[in-house]
Amino acid sequence: MHAIVYHGPGQKAWEEVPKPMIEDDTDAIVKVDTVTICGTDLHILKGDVAAVTDGRILGHEAVGTVENVGSGVKNVKVGDRVLVSCITACGACRYCRDGSYGQCIGGGGWILGHKIDGTQAEYVRVPFADTSTYAVPAGVTDEEVLMLADIGPTGYEVGVLNGRVRPGDVVAVVGAGPVGLSAIMGAKLFSPAHVVAIDLADARLEAAKQFGADITVNPAREDAVAIVQGLTEGLGADVAIEAVGVAPTFEQCTTLVRPGGTVANVGVHGGPATLHLEDLWIKNVTITTGLVDTYSTPTLLRLLATHQIDLARFVTHRFAMADFLEAYDTFADAAQTRALKVVLTA
């Protein structure tokens, strides 16, 4: 079969590799029908994720068809259409028993395309198949469901739920890439008073409006703190969601939030940020961090199946898997191509 194989910083290839086989009795082998590329894959290709070594197949998001299952798999059957989630769950460890699957210490967590071979391939081995895949509901497309492999639950859990968004809140979302847009979409489920999207790219602010932001701010031209204070009698946002992953945007969130509010960090940070405790110590501010657990995936699948959320809007570009390298170029050059999510089909 063919797969996207990582060969060290800046090096990847769509190349012939052995087809995966069942290794543990809880494995499934899934034929990948639809797959996408994550911003995290670009981080890996920059060399930011040391655990990813030469020869690793990338990718942690897919929808596919079960081709084979191990003898210990109870609920997943050959021929099932399944969502392969970015988080694998052993289902038995302390963290899994608590619903914190992202922190699994029983061999799961974020392993696909990280510690084991991933989904950017014609076939993928999925460990703990019963607790790490989700049946695709009737009446929805593969590419809609694919948006729930990572960005859907990430924006919702780590942004909206960690941020404790409530009806009537003013929610500021810093960064309107796919995960920021997912957080905007998730925040709207709680009927906020305002959703303020903040981004340096006007194309992404336009997308933010389509996903439900009623106010957009480009900090190159406008003062985000002044605009949010103007909406809140000078207090600041109830919830500030960081969806970029650099120090200036995290620090901005701590200036956007009101006393008693919450800063929910979603961004993947590659360096330190300054925590201005000299300002924050007196403000009763809560700061949350997190890797997605995907405990909300069943909820989001129900919202998709009943058309309460529109996930098709995320998909801006489509490719055949044979054109995987072109898809990477398009996704990596989002400023020019306006790519949000690119979808590859077998």
Residues lying near Zn ion in the complex (CB under 5 A): 38, 40, 90, 93, 96, 104, 106, 108, 150
Q: Could you give phi then psi for residue 156, rounded to 5 degrees?
A: -75, -50
Smallest distance from Zn ion to CB 311, Å: 15
When computed from its CA atoms, the radius of gyration of the chain, rounded to whole angstroms, is 20
Q: Report helix, strand or coil for 13.
A: strand
Q: Report helix, strand or coil for 3.
A: strand
Smallest distance from Zn ion to CB 193, Å: 31
> Environment class of residue 16 by beta-carbon count within 10 Å: exposed (0-12), middle (13-18) or buried (19+)?
exposed
For residues 100 and 293, the answer to whether their CB atoms sit within 8 Å is: yes
DSSP 8-state assignment for residue 267? S
Q: Could you give phi then psi for residue 158, rounded to 5 degrees?
A: -80, -25
Smallest distance from Zn ion to CB 294, Å: 11
Q: Report helix, strand or coil for 206.
A: helix
Which is closer to Zn ion, CB of 38 or CB of 273? 38
- The token pair that represents 144 in the structure block: 């809609």
Smallest distance from Zn ion to CB 293, Å: 11
Contacts of 281 (CB under 8 A, 6+ apart): none
- Closest residue to Zn ion, Cβ-based? 38
Which is closer to Zn ion, CB of 93 or CB of 207? 93
Q: Could you give phi then psi for residue 174, rounded to 5 degrees?
A: -95, 110
Smallest distance from Zn ion to CB 320, Å: 22
Smallest distance from Zn ion to CB 104, Å: 3
Beta strands in 7-156 (DSSP E): 12-16, 28-36, 62-69, 81-84, 123-126, 133-135
Which is closer to Zn ion, CB of 40 or CB of 232? 40
Which is closer to Zn ion, CB of 103 or CB of 249? 103
Distance separating alpha carbons of residues 29 and 11, to the nearest angstrom: 27
First to last CA, the chain: 12
Which is closer to Zn ion, CB of 104 or CB of 285? 104
Smallest distance from Zn ion to CB 59, Å: 9
Which is closer to Zn ion, CB of 93 or CB of 184? 93
Consecutive H or E run containing 291: none
Which is closer to Zn ion, CB of 93 or CB of 343? 93
For residues 304 and 145, the answer to whether their CB atoms sit within 8 Å is: yes
Which is closer to Zn ion, CB of 38 or CB of 257? 38
- Residues of the chain by 3-state class (helix, strand, coil), percent to 5: 30, 25, 45
Smallest distance from Zn ion to CB 192, Å: 25
